[in-house]
């Protein structure tokens, strides 16, 4: 039995994880965590996650170290959870996005003390997409223009999504581009024609869109599209469970979902 703590328990992903962990025979939720002052502190985690038989309250701090902590929260709170886990040598699965460069450096330091799976998107399909998008860009070559379009719900705070940025990073790495120079966010207003080697990133926010990513590879005379659509947050939750099972007995290191999936 793997004992799991969920950080960001009252969020959309946190609630999904609570339910999925409660349904799993090999997992046990031992802590549901939220930030200091959060209005759901003291609330039943079972009620939040739709797991009626779960007798556990949402708390601010861990009372005892779990086997694995899963974090889907906000960068400032997430970094504190990761560093707490590093001090106790507790492995982490982190799906939070929007970290600053300084925070990424702190995560790298924490990963020297414990195992950290850091992924902007836990979906198995999306992580296959990362790999495939890079391979396609390498194979198609410089004659194909690349544009990435992502869509998410109206409540998402960061744009472009961490997933879209990761796609662009993988394409840039595969094709020898400097993403800082190649990335173009949006295309207007203006009259500047498209430069060779650009990677366009475009964000759509609206309604309750769970997550959609399309990569366009366009040349004179044809277009190839690579697309992933998440139908529910459960796909991210099931990927996170796959990651926590994998990382539970790993040594220190900074890992990705590519490592989890053996890509």
C-alpha span between 260 and 263 (Å, rounded): 8
Residue 57 designated active-site:
no
Residue 173 designated active-site:
no
Largest CA distance in the chain: 62
- 256 near 163, Cβ under 8 Å? no
Beta bridge partners of 94: 71, 118
Catalytic entry in 152, 166, 202, 228: 152
Nearby residues of 233 by Cβ (< 8 Å), 6 or more positions away:
12, 13, 16, 210
Catalytic entry in 38, 104, 131, 156: 156
Of the candidates 24, 15, 261, the one whose C-alpha atom is nearest the C-alpha of residue 125 is 261
How far is CA 198 from each of CA 115, 127, 193, 225, 257, rounded to the nearest angstrom? Answer: 35, 23, 11, 17, 27
Residues annotated as catalytic (active site), given as ranges? 152, 156
């Amino acid at each position: 039995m793997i004992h799991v703590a969920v950080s960001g328990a009252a969020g959309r992903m946190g609630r999904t994880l609570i339910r999925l962990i409660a349904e799993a025979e090999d997992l046990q939720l031992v802590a549901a965590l939220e930030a200091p002052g959060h209005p759901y502190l003291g609330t039943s985690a079972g009620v939040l996650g739709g797991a009626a038989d779960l007798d556990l309250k949402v708390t601010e701090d861990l009372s005892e170290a779990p086997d694995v902590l899963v974090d889907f929260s906000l960068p400032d709170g997430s970094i504190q959870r990761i560093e707490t886990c590093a001090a106790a040598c507790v492995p982490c699965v982190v799906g939070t996005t929007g970290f600053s460069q300084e925070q990424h450096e702190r995560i790298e330091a924490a990963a020297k003390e414990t195992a950290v799976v850091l992924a902007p998107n836990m979906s198995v399909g999306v992580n296959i997409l990362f790999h495939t998008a890079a391979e396609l860009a390498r194979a198609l070559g410089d004659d194909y223009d690349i544009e990435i379009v992502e869509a998410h719900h109206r409540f998402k705070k960061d744009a472009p999504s961490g997933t879209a940025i990761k796609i662009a990073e993988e394409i840039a790495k595969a094709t020898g581009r400097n993403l800082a120079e190649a990335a173009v966010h949006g295309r207007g207003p203006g009259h500047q024609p498209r430069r060779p080697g650009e990677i366009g990133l475009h964000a759509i926010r609206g309604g309750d869109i769970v997550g959609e990513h399309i990569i366009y590879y366009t040349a004179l005379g044809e277009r190839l599209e690579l697309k992933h659509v998440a139908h529910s947050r459960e796909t991210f939750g099931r990927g996170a469970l796959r990651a926590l099972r994998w990382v539970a007995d790993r040594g220190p290191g900074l890992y990705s979902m590519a490592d989890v999936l053996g890509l």
